[in-house]
A and B are shown apart, each in its own frame.
Chain A
Amino acid sequence: MVDYILMFSSIVAAATFFLLPTLGEIYAERSGILNLGIEGMIIASAAFSYAIAYSTQNLWIGVLSGMLLGGVLSGIHAIISITFTRTQVVSGIGLTILGTGLSGILGRGVIGKAIDTLENVHIPFLSDIPFIGEIFFDHPILVYFSYIMVPICWFILYKTRIGILIRSVGENPEAAYNQGVNVNLLRFACVIFGGMMSGLGGAYLSLGYLNFWSEGMTQGRGWIVIALVVVALWNPLGAFLGSYIFGTFDVMKYYFQQFLPTPVLKMAPHVSTILFLAIWGIILSRQKVKSIVGAPTSLAVPFEKS
């Protein structure tokens, strides 16, 4: 008999790991910068935050260090792709390689070392709701942070001046620049925000979700984030939905072993990524659909002032 509450609760835990970086990458891509370095930023931050938390014995310093490292790494990407207008794909992949290598060095001392990780926080009233409370409100604080970030990110992107400017810069940087918008500054801010959210995702992975550090522990899930941005149609609300769908695929391997062979279950997140992208590709191939919900028009196109 499957323990449904435990299953749903672990879906929430897994989905949060997808949700945090996806929200950040949505901002980066909305501003027109594709950052393929997510995987690298996540894994490096996971190692770094675990190592810092271990040596300082302070979890929150660990979490902040992870965020900081994500921001610094994405800053490299920002300098290459915005300041020097180089190819974003190459720079992003380079960042992933760098981050993966870095994680090996940063986490070398803490492999197999245990520390107390982020505690589940009890929220009065909400956590006491039967069923719902046990699924959604019995988690570390970073999970609650991801809940509130979804509406906040959505609101900023669609309802504030800065959000419209971010979208303008990703759609038509030339038009935005002609109106007096500082295109490069906005893009920098968005890319670094994306990096910090990835860093937070990494910190959550090692300190709040899996609670250990081992090399290659992301298992390529950083790449799924890039697909998730597409599946979410570059919308924070879509990111919420998408993350929970992929979170479900991610935990299936623990709960459906009696129905399906383990290798099939382990494949599920990756196969479904390809399937989702294929289906989305077909839907988005129609010009009309594309102009309503498609990718930002100037995504991955460097902006050079005339």
Chain B
Amino acid sequence: MDSVLEMKDICKTFYGDGIVVKANDHVNFSLNKGEIHAILGENGAGKSTLVNGLFFPPDSGHIFINGVEVNLDNPLTAIKEYKLAIARQDLSKSLIERHTVAENILSFSEGFFLSLAEIERAIKKALQKFNLGDINPKAKVWKLSGGEKQRVEILKALITNPSILILDEPTAMLTPPEIERLFSLLKNLKEEGKSIIIITHHLEEAINLSDRITVLRHGEVVGVLDTQKLRKDYANEKEAIMHLASLMVGKEVLYDLHQDKVHTGTIVVELDDAVVNNDMGDAVVHGISLHLKTNQILGLAGISGNGQRELIEGLFRWRNLEKGRIKIRGQDVTNKPIKKVRELGVAYIPEDRRKALIFDLSVRDNLMLNSYQNSKSLIIDRSRIIPETEALIRRYNIKTTSPLSPIRSLSGGNRQKVVVAREFSLKQGKDLILIAENPTFGLDVGTTQFVREELLRKRAEGAAILLVSSDLTEIMSLCDEIAVIFKGKIMGIISRENATREMIGLMMGGAHQTEVLV
């Protein structure tokens, strides 16, 4: 078959924070006409970097379009001359929050004057044509939900009528029914002869949608597979997925987590009828009640941007509760200072490491942040604290050249280990209440496994854990109970034994517990 796009020997290296990352190391990639080609890989495998090479020149390598070598040195050439279009993953670098949807989608208008009304009509028509649901073209982007923004981004790419369409993690914020609609749209576009690249780390998506799959690992291509052949070679889909998974993650194959049977204990955190506002002053958490018990992991599942962040920040006193109460171990701590909350044993692992670490301070200083206040006198009791931090570095196997190196010099995984080490050691046993927000986000398989095991160990020791995650696999394999949040409301709380992936998926899309339990 003819390849419409060929990338040869692509190299791209990033330098930053004392580390050198070879994001693409001699990568070869080809896209045939009229195929859907999935690029599969873990976070940080170099998938986005590879397609970005089409818009910004890579360090070295050759790119051929329709067999002719081209020099794509800026986005304009790629978009206008070669009819490429991309829906990016990082919407903050792609959508202008303060502009309306119509002002964001200008690509097809020409000339000096323009009629926004005409663009708005065109957008409405395109939304219908591509079956992307209803979005008001006059709405400001910052008012849209995560899923709506993602659909705008996809529409922005589609509306230019590209011959090569690139979708970078298009499903991250979509609900299952929306994903289904998107996939049937992609199949239609393929019938029309368009070539599509879809980047994903979901194995099922790759296997069900694509014609071929290129698997990337640590910036290198580890396999190019024909999906048809892959299906034939394996007895069922599950085995095929296992094969893909081992390709994707390498030798470190995911193994099942060992979860001891523990009886959940007493209620330690009571959150009643909480209402929390976002930065804009609009309520995004509408009367949520949650109870957290010792020896329990409560999962909070949901597509990101449904009020999880505000709920957790309300619980941990980063922001005020507009209404409702929080009781920890019987004490009312509603809108009390954050110090008080922490003294009651509430540890917090935020998704954004910048909220947990001071990058320019040393590993030791960062590990001390919990305990320095325990010093009796005005001066920090370093002789007592230093052995403790040394023990943590050994215990959690934090790879650093010295305890005095700044956090900035550590890799992402080791940074997260510092957070985990500090927060897990805040209190022991039943005294620990842990709020973990996507604790394995962006980590490699080894560290992910380590963090998950630690969570289960803390649970066995008696800690009460609230695990917020948008990763269903993580939720399903760790939690005792699963609460699903949608648009700031809890759709239901199901125990793990009764839950299936499909049920949780539907509830994440707004179905109530009563509708999915049969």
Residues of A at under 8 Å CB distance from B? Answer: 159-162, 164-165, 167-168, 171-172, 174-182, 286-288, 291-292, 297, 305-306
Is the beta-carbon distance between A171 and B279 smaller than 8 angstroms?
Answer: no
Closest to B142 in A: A291
CB distance from B320 to the nearest CB of A (A): 14
Q: Pick the residue among A164, A175, A180, A292 that contacts B95 (CB under 8 A).
A: A175
Q: Which of B252-295 contact A (CB under 8 A)?
A: 279-282
Is the beta-carbon distance between A174 and B281 smaller than 8 angstroms?
Answer: no
Given A165-B106, A168-B99, A179-B107, also A160-B93 (CB < 8 A): no
A172-B95, A291-B140, A297-B98 given. 4 additional CB < 8 A pairs? A161-B113, A164-B106, A172-B97, A287-B279
Q: Which 10 A-B pairs have the closest CB atoms?
A: A180-B76, A287-B279, A174-B93, A161-B114, A288-B280, A171-B96, A172-B96, A180-B79, A180-B75, A175-B94
Q: Chain B contacts of A162 at CB under 8 A?
A: 112
Is the beta-carbon distance between A297 and B97 smaller than 8 angstroms?
Answer: yes
Closest to A296 in B: B98
Q: Pick the residue among B75, B99, B279, B282 that contacts A178 (CB under 8 A).
A: B75
Is the beta-carbon distance between B93 and A159 smaller than 8 angstroms?
Answer: no
Given A160-B114, A178-B55, A182-B76, also A171-B98 (CB < 8 A): yes
Most buried by A among B86, B98, B106, B107: B98
Is the beta-carbon distance between A179 and B75 smaller than 8 angstroms?
Answer: yes
Query: B88 an interface residue at 8 Å Cβ cutoff?
Result: yes
Q: Chain A contacts of B331 at CB under 8 A?
A: none
Is the beta-carbon distance between B109 and A161 smaller than 8 angstroms?
Answer: yes
A286–B280 CA distance with the chains assembled, in angstroms: 8
Is the beta-carbon distance between B56 and A305 smaller than 8 angstroms?
Answer: yes
Is the beta-carbon distance between B96 and A175 smaller than 8 angstroms?
Answer: yes
Query: B111 an interface residue at 8 Å Cβ cutoff?
Result: yes
Query: B461 an interface residue at 8 Å Cβ cutoff?
Result: no
Closest to B103 in A: A164
Q: Pick the residue among B74, B97, B116 that contacts A171 (CB under 8 A).
A: B97
A174–B94 CA distance with the chains assembled, in angstroms: 7
A228–B457 CA distance with the chains assembled, in angstroms: 60
A165–B106 CA distance with the chains assembled, in angstroms: 9
CB distance from A42 to the nearest CB of B (A): 30
> 19 A-B Cβ contacts within 8 A?
A159-B113, A161-B106, A161-B110, A161-B113, A164-B99, A164-B103, A167-B99, A171-B99, A172-B95, A172-B96, A175-B95, A177-B74, A178-B94, A179-B79, A179-B156, A286-B281, A288-B280, A288-B282, A291-B98
Query: What is the total number of residues of chain B having a CB less than 8 Å from a CB of chain A?
Result: 35
Query: B80 an interface residue at 8 Å Cβ cutoff?
Result: yes
> How many A-B contacts if CB must be within 8 Å?
79
A225–B269 CA distance with the chains assembled, in angstroms: 55
Is the beta-carbon distance between A175 and B93 smaller than 8 angstroms?
Answer: yes
B53-94 Cβ-contact flags toward A at 8 Å (1 or 0): 001100000000000000000111011100000101000111
A164–B156 CA distance with the chains assembled, in angstroms: 16
CB distance from B138 to the nearest CB of A (A): 14
Q: Chain A contacts of B110 at CB under 8 A?
A: 161
Q: Pick the residue among B55, B86, B99, B281 that contacts A288 (CB under 8 A).
A: B281
Closest to A182 in B: B76
Is the beta-carbon distance between A180 and B114 smaller than 8 angstroms?
Answer: no
Q: Chain B contacts of A171 at CB under 8 A?
A: 96-99
Most buried by B among A164, A174, A306: A164
Q: Chain A contacts of B92 at CB under 8 A?
A: 172
Closest to A297 in B: B98
A168–B99 CA distance with the chains assembled, in angstroms: 8
A167–B99 CA distance with the chains assembled, in angstroms: 9
Closest to B114 in A: A161
Closest to A171 in B: B96
CB distance from A219 to the nearest CB of B (A): 36
Closest to A164 in B: B103
CB distance from B166 to the nearest CB of A (A): 12
A181–B114 CA distance with the chains assembled, in angstroms: 16
CB distance from B156 to the nearest CB of A (A): 8
A53–B282 CA distance with the chains assembled, in angstroms: 58
CB distance from A257 to the nearest CB of B (A): 46
CB distance from B100 to the nearest CB of A (A): 10
A168–B107 CA distance with the chains assembled, in angstroms: 13
Q: Chain B contacts of A177 at CB under 8 A?
A: 74-75
A286–B103 CA distance with the chains assembled, in angstroms: 24
A142–B96 CA distance with the chains assembled, in angstroms: 36
Closest to B115 in A: A159
Is the beta-carbon distance between B93 and A172 smaller than 8 angstroms?
Answer: yes
A180–B94 CA distance with the chains assembled, in angstroms: 11
A189–B112 CA distance with the chains assembled, in angstroms: 16
Closest to B91 in A: A175
Q: Chain A contacts of B75 at CB under 8 A?
A: 177-180
Q: Chain B contacts of A165 at CB under 8 A?
A: 106
CB distance from A15 to the nearest CB of B (A): 29
CB distance from B46 to the nearest CB of A (A): 15
Q: Chain A contacts of B111 at CB under 8 A?
A: 161
Q: Chain B contacts of A291 at CB under 8 A?
A: 97-98, 140, 142, 280
CB distance from B408 to the nearest CB of A (A): 20
A186–B231 CA distance with the chains assembled, in angstroms: 52
Q: Chain A contacts of B282 at CB under 8 A?
A: 288
Q: Chain A contacts of B103 at CB under 8 A?
A: 164, 167-168
Q: Chain B contacts of A160 at CB under 8 A?
A: 112-114
A286–B99 CA distance with the chains assembled, in angstroms: 18
Is the beta-carbon distance between A178 and B88 smaller than 8 angstroms?
Answer: yes
A175–B98 CA distance with the chains assembled, in angstroms: 12
Most buried by B among A174, A175, A177, A305: A175
